[in-house]
Amino acid sequence: MSMNVSRALLPEDDRETTELWWVFLVTGALWLVFSLLVFQFDETSVTAISVLVGVACLGAAAFELVEVPASYGIWRIGRVILAAAFAIIGVVALVNPSDSFDALAAIFAFFLLLRGLFEVGTAMLRRTYGLGWWLTLTVGIAQILLAFWAAGNFGHKAFLLVVWVGATALAHGIVLIIRGFELRPA
């Protein structure tokens, strides 16, 4: 079964983005490479992990800003707010990378919660378009659950932070690649 979706079945704002379907593939692939790099770090790399969290959040903010012109109504406002929140979280993580992991885990918990809520909302609105909506829903739910796990005090915060950042980048990369194939013109 092909993952291509007829342009007539796509929402109006997605019809305009089908020409840029490859951007989703490239961006998704970059997120996959980023996740692979994250998993190479160990729990003793406090500064490196903090920088990676900051870069991940700034990357997410940039991607949301790239999608603003293709969004309409409440989605445009939502993407701008989400981009601002990710940018703030990224800057806070980069300002003093030697801060404690508790603060960094709390910041990343908010990132996961916001990203997860946005993914669930996107999946619910797009559930009749394409085959990837269920994956977006699953990733969103997983990110929300990880947010609460990150907010808790379960010990080994450094190791868990590497896993959280890597898993989030991996999931986001997969969602973007599937989205790119959904938008690819038939």
Q: Can you read off the two tokens belonging to residue 122?
A: 């996107």
User: Is 2 contained in some domain?
Assistant: no
Angle subtended at Cα 139 by Cα 34 and Cα 45, rounded to the nearest 5 degrees: 35
User: Is 173 contained in some domain?
Assistant: yes
Q: Can you read off the two tokens belonging to residue 9?
A: 């079945």
**Cα gap 111→165, rounded to integer Å:** 10
Q: Is the pTM here over 0.75, yes or no? A: no
User: Is 152 contained in some domain?
Assistant: yes
Per-residue DSSP letter, 29: H
User: Is 166 contained in some domain?
Assistant: yes
Tell me, what's the pLDDT at 7? 47
User: Is 73 contained in some domain?
Assistant: yes
Ranges in the chain, pLDDT < 70: 1-17, 42-46, 98-102, 128-131, 153-158
Residue in the block written with tokens 């690819």: 184
**Cα gap 55→183, rounded to integer Å:** 27
Structurally, how many domains does the chain consist of?
A: 1
**Cα gap 94→58, rounded to integer Å:** 10
Tell me, what's the pLDDT at 147? 85
Name the region of 155 (left: φ>0; alpha: ψ -120 to 50; beta: rest): left
Q: Give residue 33's domain range.
A: 12-183
pLDDT tens digits along 115-165: 899 889 888 887 766 667 888 888 889 889 888 887 776 666 667 777 777
Tell me, what's the pLDDT at 29? 93
Whole-number CA gyration radius for the chain? 17
Q: Is 71 helix (H, G, I), strand (E, B) or coil?
A: coil
